[in-house]
Amino acid sequence: GESVGLHLPTLSVQEGDNSIINCAYSNSASDYFIWYKQESGKGPQFIIDIRSNMDKRQGQRVTVLLNKTVKHLSLQIAATQPGDSAVYFCAENIVGRLAFGKGNQVVVIP
Amino acid sequence: GAGVSQTPSNKVTEKGKYVELRCDPISGHTALYWYRQSLGQGPEFLIYFQGTGAADDSGLPNDRFFAVRPEGSVSTLKIQRTERGDSAVYLCASSSGTSGRSRNEQFFGPGTRLTVL
């Protein structure tokens, strides 16, 4: 099928290395942010979230950093695996609806 | 357990025709969302239901688009007089939360790929 990642910024990373994906958001009133992973032909899958009163949150192999001063989010993936190859979107929660940023494609090189 | 399901997975139609896209949310989820995703873009919000009522339909692009959720579970997105620009993947998501709550994880279905010829 068609690739969701067509024409997207692409990060190529060696298997086992760490990946960092960045995202700028627009609304300073947003109180909740989420990172989603989307594989080709599938819907977005929740990875990790963070509230605006935090600046860092860790999950399994993933860490999200929030810098409200410059309205910037990042997702760090430790020890990247082939299964991490996908398009990654950040989203901000605006009164219940999600506003998605432009995606970043991650390609893991075995 | 079962996730969000959407039918059909693919729909090809001709310009000017009417289409219906169906979403079955996770059982017990009161909130349901429709998004549209064009190639290479992130999902774009269309409409949000809390129970049976549309709590926010500000994302619907024009009056050709309409959605219902008559019993507070299954939802149908209806598009009249389809245009080629309507071609996209239509995603449905559901959550157990309510609008305004900070933590409101949305679970997405696989989407319906609509192609208007």
Name which of A41, A49, A101 is nearest B105 (Cβ-Cβ): A49
pLDDT of B102 reads 44
> What pLDDT, in 10s, does the model give residues A16-34?
999 999 999 888 888 899 9
Name the phi and psi angles at B99, rounded to 5. Answer: -55, 140
Q: Across the interface, do B43 and A42 touch by the CB < 8 Å criterion?
A: no
User: CA–CA separation, A100 vs B47, rounded Å?
Assistant: 15
User: CA–CA separation, B47 vs A35, rounded Å?
Assistant: 21
- Residues contacting B42, CB < 8 A, separation 6+: A89, A91, A100, A101, A102, A103
For residue A16, which amino acid is it? G
- Strand, coil or helix: what is A82? helix
Q: With beta carbons less than 8 A apart as the criterion, state whether A2 and B88 touch.
A: no
> What pLDDT, in 10s, does the model give residues A81-97?
999 999 999 999 887 78
Q: Check pLDDT > 80 for residue A54.
A: yes
> What pLDDT, in 10s, does the model give residues B82-111?
999 999 999 999 998 654 444 568 999 999
Name the phi and psi angles at B86, rounded to 5. Answer: -80, -10
pLDDT of B91 reads 98
B33 in contact with A, Cβ within 8 Å: yes
Q: How far is A103 from chain B (nearest CA, A)?
A: 6
Q: Across the interface, do A41 and B35 touch by the CB < 8 Å criterion?
A: no
